[in-house]
Amino acid sequence: METCQACDRPVYARGHCSRHYRQLLRHGGLRPEPVVAECAVEGCARRAVTRGWCHGHYLRWSRSGDVRADVPLRRPDRDDCSVQGCGRGAHSGGLCRSHARRKQVHGDPEAGGPLRVTGAGGSLSHGYWWVAVPAADRHLVPKGRHAEFEHRLVLARLLGRPLSPDETVHHRNGDRLDNRPENLELWSTAQPKGQRVEDKLDWAYALLARYDPEGCTALGLDLAPDGRPLTEAGAAGTPGGTPGAETEKAGAPGGTPASQGGTT
């Protein structure tokens, strides 16, 4: 996968990831990465936010004109969000911006479940990696989509075609973040909706044509029993589709053929 010239994120446009590409459009160049510095007051290990001071020492200076470096800050250090497992910097009330906004709107900073986790390669959504799709691979995803779940994109690259809506990707070892090709396998959720033998045969032929066209042709199964081309026959029984025209029942599924005189 091609990566951004300025970081290790996937390329979005002009050799840059989406973040650096937006910077390029807005400022005509890339902005320097922010450097996290400590408060300039000796002995204070808090993060500097304004004029080189932490928020506490800056408030002292703004109110009295003196940071009073010899007097320890009374309030506890809240540089990190107080929500367990968050790890983001505190913005107000001991909460990060996202949790503070949730508390303001819902009254509970943990309403809505865990925050969306972002990383260099994309973001974590429902336990799966959601990544940007390079321009060269956008024929492998639904039209107009510029991002996709990484496991579906990896398997689409292996197959050389986009996945159908009735196809899913299974992680062999159960780890949703392990998207190595050898850990992925294609599953199909399609099943025939009809119960007529003719419909089931048409669906079976269409299934073979999708996943093993060479084997289907080698076995002489490139035509349906009624002589129609398999692509036409599949219209009545395409995996996940609707059964074809009404035909007389040949018998109960999985049972013995029905006859006018009853069971045989």
- Please name the residues in contact with 27: beta carbons below 8 A apart, sequence gap of 6 or more: none
159 in Cβ contact with 186 (< 8 Å) = yes
Out of 58-62, 86-90, 198-202, 225-229, pick the least confident.
225-229
What is the per-residue pLDDT across 105-147, written as a single tens digit (0 to 9) for each?
Answer: 999 988 877 776 665 567 877 778 888 888 889 999 998 888 8
What is the per-residue pLDDT across 21-46, written as a single tens digit (0 to 9) for each?
Answer: 888 888 888 888 777 788 989 888 88
Q: Name the pLDDT band for 258 (thresholds 50, 70, 90).
A: very low
Q: Is the pLDDT of residue 236 over 50?
A: no
- pLDDT value for 180: 93
Phi-psi sector, 203: left (phi>0), alpha (psi -120 to 50), beta: alpha
122 in Cβ contact with 151 (< 8 Å) = no
